[in-house]
Amino acid sequence: MAIIVDNDTRLVVQGLTGSEGRFHGLRNRAYGTDVVAGVTPGKAGQDVEGIPVFNTVADAVEQAGANTSLIFVPARFAADAIYEAVDAGIETVICITEHVPVHQMLKAYTYFRGRGTTMIGPNCPGVLSPGKANVGIIPAEIFTEGAVGLVSRSGTLTYQIGHELTQLALGNSTIVGIGGDPVVGSSFIDVIAKFQDDPQTELIVMVGEIGGDEEEKAAAYISEHVTKPVLSYIAGFSAPPGKTMGHAGAIISGASGTAQGKKEALEARGIQVGTTPTEVAQLVADRMK
C-alpha cells in the first residue's frame, strides 16, 4: 500500500503556471503521478503541457476529479490556498511554500484539522510513495520501493538517508517530509500512526532535529501505541544553545530541545538513535535482515 499518496492520487497544483509549480508539477507527472489540473486565478482555459488550468480548486475537483493539492504559491497567499483546497473537499493538502506567517498557520491549522483533511507542510519537501506517486520536490530517482517508512523534519536528511538505504538494497513504503516550521499540518505522531496501520511498512525511521519537543512526544506515543520497530536520527548535536539551525522550528531554548535530550528521551523508550545518517541506514539494514 503506502500512506498519504498512492496510485489513487489525483493531483491539482495550486500555482502550476508559476516557474516552481510548473517545474515540479511536470516532474511529478513524469514520475507517474496523475496530475489532473492546475489552478491559477484568471488563467482558466490555459494548459501547461496538456494539464488544464482552472480558476479555482473547486473547479479542478468538479471537472478533473482532483483529490490532492500541491501548493506552490507565494507565502502571503499560502494560507488562503490551504483554505480554498479544504473548502473544495480536497482530502490531502501538501504545502511546499516557505515563510508562511506563523499566526496564519495557527488559524489554518484549527480550520483544516476540524475537517479531517490531511495536511503536510508548509516548508516541506512533500511526500513520495516510490513506484506510486511523488507529490512535491523530493528527488524520487534516489529512492526505491520497499518496506521502510521514513518521516522527517529535514528535507536534505530525508534524501541522504533514503539514498543510503537504496545503496543497501532497501526501499521505502512512503517518505514524508513534515516541514521545519514551528506550526505544521502533521506531526511525527500523525504520520507514525499512519505507518503503524500500513501493511507495506515494516519498520519506521524518524528523522528529527533540535528545537521543540515533538520527538519526545513521539517517543511516548511510540512506546504505547506502535508495535513496529522504530529507529531515529537527530540532527544538531553540535548546535550551540539559542541558535536557529536552518528551520524556524529548530531553535534551542535553554536546556529544552537539545539533540542530546531528544536522544536520551528516545533511548529511554527503547528507540535506537543513530549518530550519523549512514549509521541509521546500517541499523535499518541490521533490523531488516
Q: φ, ψ for residue 81 (rounded to 5)? A: -65, -35
- Active-site entry in 24, 99, 163, 247: 247
Helices (H), the chain: 19-31, 57-64, 75-87, 102-113, 155-167, 188-197, 214-225, 259-268, 277-288
Buried residues in 221-235 as b, exposed as e (16+ CB within 10 A): bbeeebeebbbbbbb
CA gap 211, 214 in Å, rounded: 8
Grid-cell match 534516489, residue found: 142
Number of CB atoms found within 10 A of residue 169's CB:
10
47-48 and 51-54 beta bridge pairing: antiparallel
Task: Judge whether 99 counts as a catalytic residue.
Answer: no
CA gap 170, 150 in Å, rounded: 12
Q: Which of 249, 200, 195, 202 is nearest to 222 (CA)?
A: 195
Q: Which of 185, 182, 186 is nearest to 102 (CA)?
A: 182
Grid-cell match 535553554, residue found: 254
Q: Is the peptide bond before 122 cis (omega within 30 degrees of 0)?
A: yes
Contact between residue 112 and residue 119 where contact means Cβ atoms under 8 Å apart: yes
| Active site members | 247
